[in-house]
Chains A and B, each alone.
Chain A
């Protein structure tokens, strides 16, 4: 029983970590693009 719970938990954890990684990267990219745009507007 413990093995089965562990296996499904691992699947869930790996997926969650990857989704959070994607989210963090998306925020970083959007911030970089926003900074470039605002610098262009100022320039």
Chain B
């Protein structure tokens, strides 16, 4: 994720002294992501068969599950980046940690909103405080608090260290949440993937789910890369401001 400061197309007159950040990869990534999202939509709405018991409502599954699992994957990147930062004090690792926390919060928000929309017609209630739902909400709140903590603590060497330690603490809840429906009796359905002999999906449904995963992975990668570069740029601005303040 190397960043070039000077390359790029000529910007408007007002930014002539500062060429915009080169992002030649962006149209390609965005195009691939949009195509995958459209294909995932086609799979979820048209190609996948209608489920026998839940009927059309089961189609929410194709957005609800990939958003959650890709969100958890992005939180794992946050954990790895935090460990990397604590081990090496790498600015890039810190930037990746911020980016992954923010993208993960957006993805988990999709999961948390689509869940009740699915629950209401099937369970007759919007929400229940079972282990899976409660843990997912708690994880989302903790990552939001991680971002708020970073935003409102003064920028210093201590801030990324504290954030990295906090990120390692938060992530403990993610595997527990993943296993919650296996360990405890919950209102949330039992796993349909890797859930033992009685779990599984029809091949057409599994294919639609895999396409959904691919679309969300592409979306998360695009957003992560954009946010990572922003964090790098923000750091360079901060360094320039500090250098100027010292010079004055």
Contact = CB atoms under 8 A, between A and B. Distances in A.
Contacts of A15: 106, 110, 219
Interface residues of B, number: 37
A33 B120 CA distance: 48
Contact of B56 (A1, A25, A32, A34): A1
Interface in A5-43: 6-8, 10-11, 14-15, 18-19, 22, 25-26, 29-34, 36-38, 40-41
Given A3-B60, A7-B63, A11-B114, A34 B15 contact: yes
B20 interface: yes
A41 B114 contact: no
B59 A32 contact: no
Contact of B18 (A7, A26, A38): A38
A4 B56 contact: yes
Contacts of A4: 56-57, 59-60
B60 A34 contact: no
Contact of A26 (B15, B109, B223, B226): B226
Interface residues of A, number: 26
B44 to A, nearest CB: 8
B121 A3 contact: yes
B151 interface: no
Given A3-B60, A7-B63, A14-B106, A29 B234 contact: yes
A10 B17 CA distance: 40
B182 interface: no
B17 A14 contact: no
A37 B17 contact: yes
A24 B113 CA distance: 24
A29 B56 contact: no
Interface of A: 1, 3-4, 6-8, 10-11, 14-15, 18-19, 22, 25-26, 29-34, 36-38, 40-41
15 contacts: A4-B57, A7-B63, A8-B41, A8-B45, A14-B106, A15-B106, A15-B110, A22-B227, A26-B21, A29-B237, A30-B20, A32-B237, A33-B237, A33-B240, A34-B15
